[in-house]
Structure 1
Amino acid sequence: MSTEKKADNKIDEVAGKVKEAVGKTVGNESLTAEGKAQSTKANVKQAGEKVKDAFK
């Protein structure tokens, strides 16, 4: 996995976790769900990149 993709995925994951935490803090279920989805999407991307690397 390229370093740039790793960094982008990690940034997305952290941003999602921040959104989720802020959503929980202020009681905004929509923001919480959005953050959770963003974090999950980043984790899936990371897993996909690791699979690609395994077959190189």
Structure 2
Amino acid sequence: MSLIEKINDRRQVLHGWIKQGFGRTSGNARPRTGGRAGRVSGNLKLARERARDAFKH
């Protein structure tokens, strides 16, 4: 896993947390669900890269 990919995936997870928190405080469901989707997507990418690295070595 390259460092750039790792940073981008972590950034996506963090952005999801921020977006979800904004949705909670504003009472708007759209940012809240979008933030959750961003978090899940980022975590799946990280898991995929970890699995790829585990089988590579």
1:11 aligns with 2:11: yes
% identical aligned pairs? 34
Deviation at 1:2, TM superposition (A): 1.0
Cα distance in 2 between the residues matched to 1:18 and 1:6: 18
Name segments (4+ residues, structure 1) moved above 4 Å: none
User: What TM-score does the superposition give when structure 2 sets the normalisation length?
Assistant: 0.95
For structure 2, the 5+ residue unaligned runs are: none
Partner residue of 2:30? 30
Matched pairs, number: 56
CA RMSD, Structure 1 to Structure 2 (Å): 0.5
